[in-house]
Amino acid sequence: MKLFWKLFFCIISVTAVAFCVSGHMLVYTSFHSALNKESKRIAGVNAAFASSFEIAAEKMYNRKMLEEKEAVGLVLSISFSEMPDMIQLVIRDQEEKVLYQKTKQFPTPDTALKDHAKEELVAYTIKEETGQYYLHAASVISVGKWKYYVESISEITSVFEQKKDQYRIYRNCMCGLIVSVSGVIFFLAVWILRPIRKLSQAAQDIGNGDYTKRIPVCGTDEVNELAKKFNWMMEKLEQNMLELKEYAKRQEEFVGSFSHEMKTPLTSIIGYSDMLRSRQMTEEERMLYGDYILRQGKRLEKLSARMLELIVMEKKDIRMQRVNLKNFLETIQEELRPVLQEREIVLEVKADETYLMAEPVLLKSVFLNLIDNSKKAIEKNGKICIESKKVPGFIRISVWDNGKGISPKDIKRVTESFYMADKSRKYENEGVGLGLSICKKVLEFHGADMEIESTEGKETRITISFKE
């Protein structure tokens, strides 16, 4: 059963039971209150008449037992306004002889009441005969040394009829209430469960692949809070899905680029090897083809090494050390001086006595890659400058060169694997397009940022910011 119908039937059931119990208690209490009130009134009428009869008999017949004629005379002499309420009136002496009876057509009172009347001022009981309800009342009076019983019957059917009317009205009200409450509960349930139905529909849409689905939030109740959490979850899920798609796309591009980078030198190696094996050629041609095979083999070696670096960095647990930045950069300067002098490139280092927490081997790889890129970008009269300085909260190291520069459209992509801004340098300098990608990975491990600024045809500056 759906939640809507569970709520609907539960509320209707609780409402019906509560109304039944409360209505029954109300009618029951009202009926018994009216019955007790009417019973006390009739008992009071019996007691009042008995008192009047006793006073009249004391005045006239206190020395002898009353006879039937005398009792009738006394009854007729009493002026009693509520006499018509008693549809039957019987007066007995202590020997249970009937001295007066109002009517013969109606059954006489229950004689057993006289035993209760001896103990109480007025005794009464309720009986039902032929669909009518009557209250039988009895009281005891004393005249001289004789006792007399005054018994009366009054109709109280109206009290019971009133109870029936109340139950009839109550049933009609209950039916009307249940119908109206059902309508109200139906619309309330529809209104309350609307956000849940929207959640259900949204979940179904998400299952069908629509990750942009959101639930309108228009309140602060629990259901709207759930809708807020659902929307927040979907934003996170959509973000994760986009990141996964982007990651999968990058992986696909990486594999495609790597396959292409492997295929090109391998094709050349296979082609020139086949020529060496199958053709007659001069010694000069053989040396030329062998040199080309050697260069392509070295390029494959470098590609494999760089790939290995990327894989190792993904899994490596880095242990930071305190590095003297000035000594560190000057050591790199001395190592690269001979290579750069061959290309007539000047490497200048400007660094203060600054200490940095880093992994020396990986950090060295960063600067070797950056200097290698600068060297490839410089044609003649080149200069590379490495400068470090402290600014509030950061240590900044910049690598500047006066090479070819990078075009604005290429700056955003130069850190991608296998990407080269200048495709003509790819084979000329035996590059593989992984240098800046490796730099970016190493700097991410160090919690550092890398910013690239370049003027095409003039200069390039790469600034690295380490947190202190």
pLDDT over 90 at 147, yes or no: no
pLDDT over 90 at 386, yes or no: yes
Which pLDDT value is given to residue 197? 77
pLDDT in tens, 41-84: 888 888 888 888 888 888 877 667 778 888 888 887 776 666 66
pLDDT band at 318 (very low <50, low <70, confident <90, very high): low
pLDDT over 60 at 202, yes or no: yes
Among 143-147, 163-167, 211-215, the minimum mean pLDDT is found in 211-215
pLDDT band at 266 (very low <50, low <70, confident <90, very high): confident
Among 53-67, 277-291, 350-364, 409-423, the minimum mean pLDDT is found in 409-423
Which pLDDT value is given to residue 431? 45
pLDDT in tens, 329-382: 998 888 888 788 878 889 999 988 888 888 887 788 788 888 888 888 887 778
Distance CA 201, CA 193 (A): 12
pLDDT over 60 at 188, yes or no: yes
Which pLDDT value is given to residue 428? 45
- Cα–Cα distances in angstroms (integers) from residue 411 to residues 10, 140, 449, in the given order: 67, 122, 15
Note whether 127 and 72 are within 8 A (CB): no
Distance CA 428, CA 294 (A): 14
Which pLDDT value is given to residue 112? 65
Q: What is the average per-residue pLDDT within 440-457?
A: 84
Residue identified by tokens 């949204």 is 202
Which pLDDT value is given to residue 423? 47
Average pLDDT, the chain: 79
Q: What is the average per-residue pLDDT within 313-317?
A: 57
Distance CA 109, CA 466 (A): 114
Note whether 402 and 461 are within 8 A (CB): no
- CATH class of the structural domain 3-165: alpha beta
Give the CATH number of domain 213-315; options: 1.10.287.130, 1.10.10.10, 1.20.1090.10, 2.20.25.90.
1.10.287.130
pLDDT band at 432 (very low <50, low <70, confident <90, very high): very low
pLDDT band at 399 (very low <50, low <70, confident <90, very high): very high
Looking at per-residue pLDDT, the higher value among 154 and 442 belongs to 154
* Residue type present at position 435: G
pLDDT band at 3 (very low <50, low <70, confident <90, very high): low
Which pLDDT value is given to residue 398? 92
Note whether 127 and 136 are within 8 A (CB): yes
Which pLDDT value is given to residue 384? 92
Domain range list for the chain:
3-165, 213-315, 319-467
Distance CA 171, CA 164 (A): 11
- For residue 327 the two structure tokens come to 């000594």
- Please name the fold of domain 319-467: Heat Shock Protein 90 (3.30.565)
Helix axes 435-445, 283-315, angle to 10 degrees: 20
- Cα–Cα distances in angstroms (integers) from residue 41 to residues 46, 116, 163, 300, 364, in the given order: 9, 18, 18, 120, 114
pLDDT over 80 at 31, yes or no: yes
* Residue type present at position 155: E
Note whether 176 and 55 are within 8 A (CB): no
Among 201-210, 271-280, 434-443, the minimum mean pLDDT is found in 434-443
Q: Which residues pair with 267 in a beta bridge?
A: none
